[in-house]
Chains A and B, each alone.
Chain A
Amino acid sequence: MMPVLTVRELSASYRKNQVLNNVQFNIKPGTMTSIVGPNGAGKSTLLKVILELHPKLSGNVSFFGSTYNKSKSRIGYVPQRGSVDWDFPTNALDVVLMGLYGQIGWFKWPKKSDKEKALAALSQMGMADFADRQISQLSGGQQQRVFLARALVQDADLYFLDEPLAGVDAATERAIMDTLKVLKEKGRTVMVVHHDLQTVEDYFDHVLMLNRTVVAHGATKETFTKENIYRTYGGTLRWMGEKLG
């Protein structure tokens, strides 16, 4: 089967430090992959370079056997919650509608059908009652659900999420993971930057272990081993010894 994402010999730097070195992997359709690695391993940078939000030094990325520009409408992106200004004068429904701005096209305003789509996505995330709520008056978990709803309306084939479970409540974590599972069942591909090693095995069928380069990549069962965790995190992860003992 043709990979949905192919990354070849990708290198990039951030503020003069090389953070990605010769990164190479393929992602198969219908998989759910977590990207894990220590702080500074280049997880978020990897997503940004793949989506051309951050320049690469060298290498090659292709989507569905084509270029990024030709595939934009098939790709959904959920940035880190902290990357936007939540005091912006707008409400939850408007933020979700933004996911449709690319499809609506120039000089046109969102139609009633667009608003219905956005509302349906909010309902799916259990947020229908908060549609009119100003976004600064939502809890962190609710803000993350709004971001997820925005990704849902994009109706993409390939999703990238940057730490969607960071600092959210248990109910939100469940809502997000249920949504991602539904996407996977529909044959969509999901890549998630993830920080909680305890849940990798429960949540994801594939794992990409990153520390400036790919340390290990494959099905979670075979790849997420004690040896690979030590190789990825080095000596920085003493507490893992207890868990994997």
Chain B
Amino acid sequence: MSYTGWILLTASLVGLSCGFIGVLLILRRMAMMADAISHTVLLGIVTAFLVTRELSGIHMLIGAIIAGLLTTVLVQWFHERGVQQEASIGVVFTSLFAIGVVLIATQVGNAHLDVKHTLMGEITFIPWEKTHIPWIGEVPEAVVMLSAVLLVVMIAILAFYKEWKITSFDPALAASLGIPVVLMHYVFMSLVSVTTVAAFDAVGAIMVVAMLITPAAAAYLWTDRLGIMLVLSGLFGVISAILGYYIAAWLDTSISGSMAFATGLIFMISFIGSPKHGVVAKWIRPQMLSS
């Protein structure tokens, strides 16, 4: 496949995984937790590197899951002891991120790991870091990892669809029906962490947040069905990835930045033009009723 093809595939895989996960994130009113985890996974990655001294996919995934769960547990722990939810998120994620930054600066040295890379990602280099897959041939490592994560995300959503639906909509009823609300929450947060770390190497922390929140927020404006919202959100993620790449090529600018910009563009179009909840539709509807 061509250089452009690999970049589009990588970014589309990010768009799909993040789009699916993002729907559940915003319906659970946890958009800011995505921001938090996208930063604290840095600590998980650095710690995994310090323990194993190698930057391999599986170590990073495990480190990220631990960091993501630690963030979730700490935020909840402070909140239960009287700290406001948002304040708790702010305190925990900046502190853990800072520890990660300090560790990179003092312990890691020249490894392929730095703060700028973490925040912005380097999707341009992805097509060159290839690995051999039987029957398929040379495939970029990021594509392999992102495909595996997308598969896990899709299986998990299909397997726990009704559990996550009910624990998002009515946790009290879910608990009274015997559904393990807390366990389902941590399984979900693990999934957020895995998705984030896989996407993060390719596109950086900022774009992970854009891809997690914005396509889902746009999809929310188009439909009243959860299943359709999931499909639309994934689709918007992929469109943003492709559109963003061509904007970047046209303006000769940052690829991940342009993709994040494209998610914003899709959101604005939805916000104005969606037939269900768009501004224009809301403005037209009362006039149609009165005429």
B101 CB–A CB distance under 8 Å: no
Cβ-defined contact, A84 with B159, below 8 A: no
Q: Is A215's CB within 8 Å of the partner chain B?
A: no
CA distance A89 to B229 in the complex (A): 8
Q: Which residues of B contact A150 (CB under 8 A)?
A: 173
Contact present for B163 and A101 (CB under 8 Å): yes
If the complex has contacts A90-B165, A98-B170, are A75 and B176 also in contact, measured as CB distance less than 8 A? yes
172-205 of chain A: CB within 8 A of chain B: none
* CA of A53 to CA of B176, assembled, Å: 8
Distance between B182 CB and nearest chain A CB, rounded to angstroms: 12
- CB contacts (< 8 Å) of B225 on chain A: these are 89-91
Nearest to B174 among chain A residues (CB) is A101
Overall SS of chain B's interface: helix
In whole Å, how far is B163's beta carbon from the nearest beta carbon of chain A? 7
CB < 8 Å neighbour of A88 from B163, B168, B174: B168
Partner of B169, one of A51, A90, A110, A154: A90
Chain B neighbourhood of A17, CB < 8 A: none
Contact check, B178 vs A89: say whether CB atoms are below 8 A apart. Answer: no
B-chain residues with CB within 8 Å of residue A136 when the two chains form the complex: 224
Partner of B172, one of A53, A91, A101: A53
Is A223 in the interface zone, CB < 8 Å from B?
no
Contacts of B172 in A (CB 8 A): 48, 51, 53, 77, 79, 83
A91 and B224 within 8 A (CB): yes
Q: Which residues of B contact A154 (CB under 8 A)?
A: 177
> What residues on B are CB-neighbors of A239 within 8 Å?
none
Contacts of A75 in B (CB 8 A): 176
Q: Tell me the residues in window 34-58 of chain A with beta carbons closer than 8 Å to chain B beta carbons.
A: 48, 51-53
Contacts of B169 in A (CB 8 A): 84-85, 88, 90, 95, 98
Taking the complex as formed, is B74 at the interface, i.e. its CB lies under 8 A from any CB of chain A? no
Contacts of B175 in A (CB 8 A): 51-53
Q: Is B248 an interface residue (CB 8 A)?
A: no
The reply to whether B170 and A83 form a contact with Cβ atoms under 8 Å apart is yes
How far is it, in angstroms, between the C-alpha of A77 and the C-alpha of B176 when the chains are bound?
7
* Also in contact, A77 and B173, with CB within 8 A (given A101-B166, A107-B159): yes
With an 8 Å Cβ cutoff, the count of chain B residues facing the other chain is: 26
Chain B positions within 8 Å of A95 at CB level:
169
Taking CB atoms and an 8 Å cut-off, the chain A residues in 86-144 that contact chain B are 88-91, 94-95, 98-99, 101-102, 104, 106-107, 109-110, 134, 136
Residues A110 and B178 in contact in the complex (CB < 8 Å), given A89-B229, A90-B225, A91-B224:
no
Q: Are A101 and B162 in contact (CB under 8 A)?
A: yes
A-B contact pairs, 16 of them (CB 8 A): A51-B175, A69-B178, A79-B173, A84-B170, A88-B27, A89-B220, A89-B223, A90-B226, A91-B225, A94-B226, A98-B162, A99-B177, A101-B163, A101-B177, A110-B162, A136-B224
Q: Which residues of A contact B (CB under 8 A)?
A: 48, 51-53, 69, 72-73, 75-77, 79, 83-85, 88-91, 94-95, 98-99, 101-102, 104, 106-107, 109-110, 134, 136, 150, 154
Q: A52-B175, A89-B226, A107-B159 are in contact. List 18 more A-B contacts (CB 8 A).
A: A51-B172, A53-B172, A72-B176, A75-B176, A77-B176, A84-B169, A85-B169, A88-B169, A90-B165, A90-B224, A90-B226, A91-B225, A98-B169, A98-B170, A101-B162, A101-B163, A101-B166, A104-B162
